[in-house]
């Protein structure tokens, strides 16, 4: 894997702007949803099986995260908490790069072993999160 910094090329998709807008719109939508006191979606997997799915608790984790209750957010869904932390870090990076018009960080040239490692880590994180949800919240 190679990490490098370079200016945005002409006609290249501005990923920092794109994903900053997407995450901001998602946050605004969530804030509107909660402010309007609309019902939260029910988990179809849990309704059918009685067991939590891998993302169960993510909505509650997000609510706690945005209220600054980070420990509670982690306890509801550790993977959702880590995802929100990563999203916040990316948004801060994107905002900084956009304001400063700085070169963008890009990753490339992934070897086959690095791709396999990334897939393995993703599977381990999802499985570990699901095991946590199955054991931490008895039914």
The pLDDT tens digits of the residues spanning 52-95 come to 999 889 988 999 999 999 999 999 999 999 999 999 999 999 99
- Which residues touch 100 (CB under 8 Å, ≥6 apart)? none
pLDDT at residue number 31? 87
Contacts of 82 (CB under 8 A, 6+ apart): 125
- 77 Rama class: left (phi>0) / alpha (psi -120 to 50) / beta: beta
| In the chain, where the domains are located | 2-136
User: pTM of the predicted model, to two decimals?
Assistant: 0.86
Span 6-23, average pLDDT: 93
């Amino acid at each position: 894997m190679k990490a490098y910094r370079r200016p945005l090329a002409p006609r290249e998709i501005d990923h920092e702007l794109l994903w900053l807008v997407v995450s901001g719109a998602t946050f605004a939508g969530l804030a509107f949803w909660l402010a309007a006191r609309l019902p939260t979606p029910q988990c179809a997997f849990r309704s059918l099986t009685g067991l939590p799915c891998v993302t169960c608790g993510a909505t509650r984790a997000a609510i706690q995260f945005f209220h600054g209750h980070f420990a509670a957010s982690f306890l509801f869904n550790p993977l959702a908490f880590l995802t929100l932390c990563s999203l916040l870090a990316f948004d801060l990076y994107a905002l900084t790069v956009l304001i400063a018009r700085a070169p963008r960080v890009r990753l490339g040239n992934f070897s086959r072993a690095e791709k396999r490692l990334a897939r393995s880590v993703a599977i381990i994180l999802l499985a570990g999160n699901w095991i946590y949800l199955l054991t931490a919240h008895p039914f």
